[in-house]
Chain A
């Protein structure tokens, strides 16, 4: 998990889900507060267009809350939510039939370090985005869940309805192809 976003304790999420199911909207509101930014990072990394990111985050939460009865605690709520986000992104891709276009100013936006380093970092990230777009969806999602979100293979496998071994293989395929693309 990213250091900036400490993972919520699973039991806390379960309690919030129970509160929401019992009719307490504060449960849903707290779940959005905890996981919206991580979800947005995942979606952006997976190629969500910047202009659609807000809508995608909202749509993902709506789908998740409507399907909350299907969440059996097989993985953490956040992991389950990210998997739903991946599906929402896929549906969006079908509807609009276009890929993410990253504005130049975002790529070269201010970061620590000198301008030359910033430009190089932006270029590398952009190359990584392009590489991710070339991956099959399963490889891309597994890579992001592992490398960006810091999840264990067991957790990823449960969320994506695959085996732990298959998740490992997808990850290694993704890493190999991304390295080839970036070098």
Chain B
């Protein structure tokens, strides 16, 4: 079995022997063949001057530009003036000063009204917990 006092040299000698037989079974030529074959089949290594479009940072920049352009287009389509402002101006052009003052006062009244409808407390009291949670979710969007 083991000596009572295992020396460092003995431990090293044992360690050197570890895996010796297993390593002898490695077919070096075959290993090299398989490695090279798999390297050829995998992602090609970049040699010489790297292609700029294959660099991850450029791919990232290109993707960001596409996203920004798409978002801008969608925003423009959704919020852009469907009825150009000059049509409104044309409608107002024929009004007298008194008529314009009347239109403005109507607008002031409209804007002075509350913009949101607060749920009545009585209505909320009748809701179950689940319904309240649903309402909360809908209010939070």
Contacts and interface: CB of A to CB of B under 8 A. Distances in A.
Contact of B2 (A43, A65, A144, A183): A183
In this complex, the interface size class of chain B, counting residues with CB under 8 Å from chain A, is 35 or more
A93 interface: no
A123 B1 contact: yes
B23 A38 contact: yes
Interface stretch (B35-43, B104-112, B114-122, B131-139): B35-43
A40 B19 contact: yes
Interface in B18-42: 18-29, 31-32, 34-36, 38-39, 42
B58 to A, nearest CB: 18
A41 B18 contact: yes
With most chain B CB atoms within 10 A of its CB, the pick from A36, A120, A127 is: A36
B6 interface: yes
A96 interface: no
Interface stretch (A6-14, A50-58, A70-78, A159-167): A50-58
Contact of A66 (B17, B29, B32, B45): B45
A178 interface: yes
A3 to B, nearest CB: 9
Given A40-B19, A41-B19, A25 B6 contact: no
A61 interface: yes
A54 B26 CA distance: 7
Contacts of A43: 19
Contact of A53 (B14, B16, B22): B22
B31 A128 contact: no
B11 interface: yes
A77 B116 CA distance: 72
A100 to B, nearest CB: 10
Interface of B: 1-2, 4-6, 8, 11-12, 14-29, 31-32, 34-36, 38-39, 42-43, 45, 47
Interface of A: 2, 21-23, 25, 28-29, 32-33, 36-38, 40-45, 48, 50, 53-54, 57-58, 61-62, 65-66, 106, 109, 120, 123-125, 127-129, 132, 143-144, 147-148, 175, 178-179, 182-183
29 contacts: A22-B47, A29-B36, A32-B31, A33-B28, A36-B28, A37-B26, A40-B19, A41-B18, A45-B18, A45-B19, A48-B22, A54-B27, A54-B31, A57-B31, A58-B35, A62-B39, A66-B43, A106-B21, A124-B2, A125-B18, A127-B2, A128-B18, A147-B11, A147-B15, A148-B12, A148-B18, A175-B11, A179-B11, A183-B2
Given A23-B47, A40-B22, A57-B31, 15 more contacts: A21-B47, A28-B35, A32-B28, A32-B32, A37-B24, A44-B19, A45-B18, A48-B22, A58-B31, A124-B14, A125-B17, A128-B15, A143-B15, A148-B15, A183-B5
